[in-house]
Chain A
């Protein structure tokens, strides 16, 4: 694939392809749909401002995931967010809107660093190495987090699951 720069002509395609993926990632991180929508929009705005060329589709995807995580961190670091996102409320609203399984809620109740790793591992089907690169951490750390997150999930979940 030739090196390409994102511009107004091809941004439609990019948004349609990746919007949902980024929304899921942002929800896993922030546990709030409204904030996540804003974050996704902000990420696409940044994409248009990005000067450099992308080498491949994978490069675009990796860049979008990285920027989404950074945007979530930025939001998380603000005390406004910390004081205005009670998870219980989100859960109640979410329950009313669309019924989800105990797995989903158990995973959302995990600490943020475990949520992120598990989301990328289970939903994005990324390998430990890929997650490590994405989150800028050692593969051993990712493995430990996955292991600990699974242990926490096992405590929370009533049903029997295959955790692979």
Chain B
């Protein structure tokens, strides 16, 4: 009779780092640590400069002189009707000046910082948005809480592409908060219905017999492969932006209608990646995105699952409320019916 422990040990030991690999790793770890230390020291040096009194006076005088010169320059430009142009050599905030759809408010937005985002949650005095690209204020794929006292335009809905204008002030919280002066809907490219001609990739993540589980247990169990069904499909379409809505079912047979944010551009892809139903309630969802530029995976969570009762059944969805017809249609349809709305191909 063979000893299982010994056989397993023998096999496991076949996977080892070579001395070369180890040296590379040691070098890499050290370099990264030294780089971090170096940056830290640099920050300290900058924040605590040693200056003599004379130097301080000279610096102060020079600062005042620069401010005066800049002010004079701006005044001159304004007088000559060139107020909207940036001052050469000055490090200014990148101002986006885009022409928006006709019929939208015509306000002076040139003084505001703007960026494009997807509206993921709409509330009475603001909501949550997901940034699309790296800007002066945010990175790609960041969730930002937006205060918008002015109130939403009726045509803006969750899942829409929007341009957000704000004063450049970002409150350091999680998620980051800004106060928008204006939010405009971006014109969508023509929509295309592509399914089932082209496939995509997604992972369905179900929990079995979760009715008596606590949320923490369910989440833990969801990490283990024996309690979930995973179904993968491959993406065959590259570099597209899209929003998809699909119906899925929990192991208990509860249908979930899930409009999914899926942005698959040259830069990043975003999607809802995980949902767990506990009994008759969805308690957790996670979205993540793969940044193909930095080759790094990012993830975050938000809980915004709503429910709707039709004919004694409860349907769950995220984002825009589906119509009864849509739900009934999905219920009768196949399990993985998917409707893509292409936002344009880059």
A interface list, Cβ under 8 A from B: 8, 11-12, 15-16, 19-20, 23-24, 27-28, 33, 37, 40-41, 44-45, 48-49, 73, 76-83, 98, 100-101, 103-104, 107, 111-114, 119, 122-123, 153, 159-164
> Which residues does chain A contribute within 8 Å of B22, judged by CB atoms?
15-16, 19
9 contacts between A and B (CB under 8 A): A76-B223, A80-B288, A81-B297, A82-B230, A111-B226, A113-B224, A113-B226, A122-B4, A160-B1
What residue in chain B is nearest A47 (Cβ atoms)?
A: B29
Residue B302 at the A interface, CB < 8 A?
no
Question: Known contacts A78-B288, A79-B271, A103-B7; is A162 also within 8 Å of B1 by CB?
Answer: yes
Of residues 41 through 84 on chain B, the ones whose CB sits less than 8 Å from some CB of chain A are: none
> Which residues does chain A contribute within 8 Å of B3, judged by CB atoms?
161-162
Docked Cα-Cα span, A16 to B5, in Å, equals 24
The secondary-structure label for the interface of chain A is helix
Question: Known contacts A20-B16, A83-B232, A100-B14; is A77 also within 8 Å of B4 by CB?
Answer: no
Residue B30 at the A interface, CB < 8 A?
yes
> Which residues does chain B contribute within 8 Å of A107, judged by CB atoms?
8
Given A37-B17, A41-B29, 5 other A-B residues pairs in contact with their CB atoms under 8 A = A48-B33, A78-B288, A79-B274, A113-B226, A162-B1
Docked Cα-Cα span, A133 to B1, in Å, equals 32
Q: For residue B11, give the distance in angstroms from its CB to the closest CB of chain A.
A: 4
Q: Residue B17 contacts which of A19, A103, A122, A123 (CB distance < 8 angstroms)?
A: A19
Question: Known contacts A41-B25, A100-B11, A103-B11; is A112 also within 8 Å of B225 by CB?
Answer: yes
Q: For residue B201, give the distance in angstroms from its CB to the closest CB of chain A.
A: 5
What residue in chain B is nearest A116 (Cβ atoms)?
A: B224
Residue B299 at the A interface, CB < 8 A?
yes
Question: Are B14 and A98 touching (Cβ within 8 A)?
Answer: yes
Q: Residue B33 contacts which of A40, A45, A83 (CB distance < 8 angstroms)?
A: A45
Question: Are B201 and A83 touching (Cβ within 8 A)?
Answer: yes
Docked Cα-Cα span, A40 to B17, in Å, equals 11
Residue B99 at the A interface, CB < 8 A?
no
Docked Cα-Cα span, A107 to B8, in Å, equals 9
Residue B313 at the A interface, CB < 8 A?
no
Q: Residue A19 contacts which of B25, B201, B225 (CB distance < 8 angstroms)?
A: B25
Question: Are B203 and A79 touching (Cβ within 8 A)?
Answer: yes
Q: For residue B5, give the distance in angstroms from its CB to the closest CB of chain A.
A: 5
Question: Known contacts A80-B290, A82-B232; is A162 also within 8 Å of B4 by CB?
Answer: yes
Question: Known contacts A77-B274, A82-B203, A160-B2; is A11 also within 8 Å of B225 by CB?
Answer: no
Residue B34 at the A interface, CB < 8 A?
yes
> Which residues does chain B contribute within 8 Å of A161, judged by CB atoms?
1-4, 7
Docked Cα-Cα span, A48 to B286, in Å, equals 30
> Which residues does chain A contribute within 8 Å of B201, judged by CB atoms?
83
Q: Which of A73, A82, A163 has the most CB of B within 10 A?
A: A82
Question: Are B1 and A83 touching (Cβ within 8 A)?
Answer: no
> Which residues does chain A contribute within 8 Å of B33, judged by CB atoms?
8, 11, 45, 48-49
Question: Are A24 and B12 touching (Cβ within 8 A)?
Answer: yes
Question: Are B25 and A44 touching (Cβ within 8 A)?
Answer: yes
Q: Which of B11, B223, B297 has the most CB of A within 10 A?
A: B11
Q: Residue B2 contacts which of A8, A20, A77, A159 (CB distance < 8 angstroms)?
A: A159
Question: Are A48 and B29 touching (Cβ within 8 A)?
Answer: yes
Q: For residue B2, give the distance in angstroms from its CB to the closest CB of chain A.
A: 5
Q: Residue A78 contacts which of B9, B16, B225, B299 (CB distance < 8 angstroms)?
A: B299
Residue B190 at the A interface, CB < 8 A?
no
Q: For residue A23, give the distance in angstroms from its CB to the closest CB of chain B.
A: 6
Question: Known contacts A23-B17, A162-B3; is A8 also within 8 Å of B30 by CB?
Answer: yes
Residue B32 at the A interface, CB < 8 A?
yes
What residue in chain B is nearest A41 (Cβ atoms)?
A: B25
Question: Known contacts A8-B33, A23-B16, A78-B297; is A122 also within 8 Å of B28 by CB?
Answer: no
Docked Cα-Cα span, A114 to B224, in Å, equals 9
